[in-house]
Structures are given as structure tokens and as C-alpha cells.
Structure 1
């Protein structure tokens, strides 16, 4: 008896076999071309570096800082060895700073310095690092780590790029940051003084004179030294501290208070033995010029130079 074909006797099995064969054939075709397909997809997502850069600038001009940073980041990823990658990296630091993403701004600027230390925008990158810390300076009651980092970073701008257009603004911000650091020392010193922990207080007040001699806090620091030494019964040291204060700030209200304090025991400011040659007081007197540099509210406002992108980008 003649046998009928498989498809006639077992149509379901035949259809399943046909589907399996078709799938295997299709898979074989795709496996040989999947690399080409992925490459084409990647190429379709890649834009020319100059197009991305101009888009980033347009977003920056339009105030779309986040979008601008993304465009500059795309250049770094898609065209890492191009000249546009260098320019995009510093612009990304600027856009991140302007948007308040200070960690990203600092990271991009540090990376820029590591990759292009001798470029025309190296000074600006260092300046952005300083600005990123500067804009995070807390109020005087809190930890001043970011303030210290801001002063250090801005000092590097002055030391490494003294002729750059950013050096003068860096000096201003060093003065503001130093004044805040000195203010923190005074706050802690006054705390110790109120608790009658005189040695700890004296160390803080001396630190203000030694480390921050150009700040407005020096007058009070010397007056507080007079007060602390007087409370300890060290009248010669108290007289020497008041003498340094009088030599440098004769018209200061703090000097008048110190003078009045000494007068309660019939004493006067005097270098004497406490302020003899080689003493801390004699060294402080030589170091101080009597010209403090008070900080105004204008000093903490954003400057024109920090609001504009680098000229070389």
C-alpha cells in the first residue's frame, strides 16, 4: 500500500518542523550580519564634533545649561581625540559650574588640567576649581573645609598663573575666604575664653595673627589675647599683646578696651620682658602693618569674569 506524505498524515508535526527550519535559517542569516547592524545603529547616533559643539554653545546661550553640558559630554565620548574634545571639556566644566553642579565642574576642570596642563585654558580650569569650592563656603558656624580648599585653589591661580586675567579676582576671593577662616578661629577662641580654657583660647587667637594677619579679625584677636593673659595673671604678656595692638591699630576700639582693662591694675601697654626680642609678640609686631583689608558685601557677589566662559573655548 502506498504511503501518503508526512504533511498529509501528520500535518501538525510537519508545520512545526517547517517553522523550526525557517527559524534556523533566519538566525543563521542574522548572525552573519549582526555586527554590521550594530555598527550602523551606532553610526546613526553619532554626530559630528563641530555640530555637537555648536549645539552645546546654543544651549549655553539659551540658558539650557544641563543640555549644554550633555552636548559637551557627548563630544568627549564620541570624539575623544579631537580638538573639539579639549574645548568641550572646559566648556562642560563652565556649564556645570553655572548650573550649580559644583562636583561635576570641579571634576571636569581637574581632568582638563591633567590632560592639557600647558593649554591656554589651564588657568581657567584652575580658576573653576577654586570657584566650585568658593560657592560652597558655609556660614561661619559650620565646618570650613570647603573654605580652606577655595583659598588653596585660588592661591594656585595666583602662584601658577600670576599674569592671567583670573589672578586679580582670585586674590579677592582669597581675601574673602581668609577672612572667613579667621572668623571661625575667633568663634572657637571666644568659646574657649568664655569657658576659661585660656591656653586653648590663646592658641586660636595667635593663629589668627600668624596665619591671617591681613584680615579684620586681627584687632580683636590681639585684644582677646590681652584679656586671656590678664585673666591668667600673666600681666607682662597682657601688656605686650596690648602694645602690639596699639602700635598697629592705635585708633581701634579694641585697643581702648585693652588699655582700660590694664588700667584697672595701674598697668599700661608695654613690650617689656613679655615682648622682648625673639618673642612671639615682637615677631607679630614686625609682621603686622596695621592696614587690614575689610571685606564688603560686594566682595562675595559673583564677579563679571566668573560669569563668562573661557576665551579660548
Structure 2
């Protein structure tokens, strides 16, 4: 089938741009005095039409040759950087790198996609690839959790920007898992300080859990540890408030039983201090 004159002119203009770019790069190397034949050959551009290259890449992907497909999509993006097929190639590059476990490469391609095509329908998927790539790299809770925080930020962005997308449900699941991981890290550090009687430092860590991660499984223990830390410092009104919040939300919890017993030894009982940051953190929640 013959191309229309408009399509032919557009293709010709695109090829001319690529030829000029290739010639400019080659000339720059020659002028610099550092060009070799291999250097110039590396700059050579494939003259295969973009649509043909794209279909070849899809065929490689369908056949299971993920690495070969990724290379073909990379080549298409390099040769036709401003085409519709370059956009389609970029999201495929992100996906294929993710499938190969090349998470930094997947993140780089997906971030480039969201930057170049923020309003595109595939932007939600690109953001999800970013979050999932970070999620797959989450380390043990004993190590630095910077990657976990990045996974959380990306998944929150999926939910906030694309609440009706097909990725939102799984993004919410990842949010819960990453919040639990980050809360677990705060608890580990808080226990470290508490064991060394550095109560102010331990309170700061447990406060993060109670303030930012109220829906995680760590909040019960955090409230007990706050009771314990405040009681050790002699700040009994805050210790009583922490225990009251714990008792209201988890009345059958062993952590509450332990908090109640601790206060009872000092002749105290759980009781709200309305001026406490704990009261503000839990809003209008009824407190014992």
C-alpha cells in the first residue's frame, strides 16, 4: 500500500533530522580527534520504519525473548525519539526491565515516561512500575528503609492521582505493607533507645508510629512503650494518656494489660490528659 504524500513527507523529514544528528555527532568525534571506525559505526541509525521495528519488538516479547525485545525497543526509542512508537516503546522498556529484575533501569524508564507523557493513560501503570520496583527491593527491617519510603511515596501517588485505575487496589495493599515496614523500623530503633534508658529518644520513635502509622500492627506496642517511657521519666500524665488510648482501642490486648499493671504499681490508672499530643493525634476518638 502506498503512503500518502503527507505521511511520506513526514517520514522524510524525520529521516533527515536523524541523518543530520548522526552527521553532527560523527563530525564532533572527528574534530575532537578521538573517533575510530567503531565509534562512528556505533552512531549508525537503523533505517527500518518505526512501525516495523515496533512490531519486531512485540514479536520478540511474545516469543519470550525479553532481553531481545528490550534491546529492540531501546533502538526504536533512539532512532525515532519523538514518534508515537517511541512513547509505546518507553513503557515497554520499563515493563521489560521490571520483568528482568533490572529495577533501577525500570524506574528510570518509567520516570522518563511520566515526565514526558504525564497525561497519558499509561502514566498510572508507569507510576505503579516505579512503586513496585522499589517495593521489590525493600530490605530487612534492620537496614536503612530509604527504598521503602520511595515505594510508599510512589504507591500513594498512584492512589491519589489515579483512584479509579486498575492498579489502585494493589497499590493500597503495598501502602499498608510499606507503612508496616517503616513502623517496624521505628519500633526497632525505639526499643534500642528504651533498653539504654534514653527515654526522650525512644519517645520520639514511638511517637512517629502512633502519629503516622496508626493502622499498622505496631501501634499497640508503641502505645505501651510510650506508657513505659513516660512512666520511667516521671511524666505520669502522658503515661496515663498513652495507656488510656491503648485501652480504648485494644481493650483485650496484652499490651494494655501490661500498661495497666505498670501504672497500678505506682498507684495510677489510665486517664486522659486532654492537653496531650496523644489526644490530638487520635482526634475525637473516645478515650477512657
Q: Can you list the C-alpha shifts for 1:139-194, whole angstroms capped at 9, x where unaligned? A: 10000000001100111111111111111111111111011000000000000000
Equivalent residue, structure 1, for 2:48: 47
Whole-Å Cα distance in 2 between the matches of residues 176 and 201 of structure 1?
23
TM-score (norm 2): 0.81
- The residue number in structure 2 matching 1:250 is 251
**Deviation digits for residues 115-158 of structure 1 (CA, Å, limit 9, x no counterpart):** 11111111111111111111111110000000001100111111
Shift of 1:266: 2.8
Q: Runs of 4 or more off by more than 6 Å in structure 1?
A: 287-290
Deviations 1:24-70 (A, max 9, x none): xxxxxxxxxxxxxx99x957x43232332223223323332221210
Give the structure 2 partner of residue 108 of structure 1. Answer: 109
Please give the root-mean-square deviation of Cα atoms over the aligned residues, in Å: 2.1
Paired residues for 1:63-212 under 5 Å: 63-212=64-213
Alignment gaps of 5+ in structure 2:
1-39
Query: How big is each residue's C-alpha offset from its partner over 1:277-306, in whole Å with a ceiling of 9 and x where there is no partner?
Result: x4212113327699xxxxxxxxxxxxxxxx
TM-score using structure 1 length:
0.74
The structure with more radius of gyration: 1
* Larger relative contact order, structure 1 or 2 (CA cutoff 8 Å, min sep 6): 1
- Looking at structure 2, the residues matched to 50 and 172 of structure 1 have their Cα atoms a distance apart, in angstroms, of 38
| Structure 2: distance between partners of 1:267 and 1:152 | 42
Corresponding residue for 1:283? 280
Q: Which of 112-121 and 189-198 deviates more?
A: 112-121
What 5-or-longer segments of structure 1 have no aligned partner?
A: 1-37, 291-313
Tell me, what secondary structure is at the counterpart of 1:137? coil
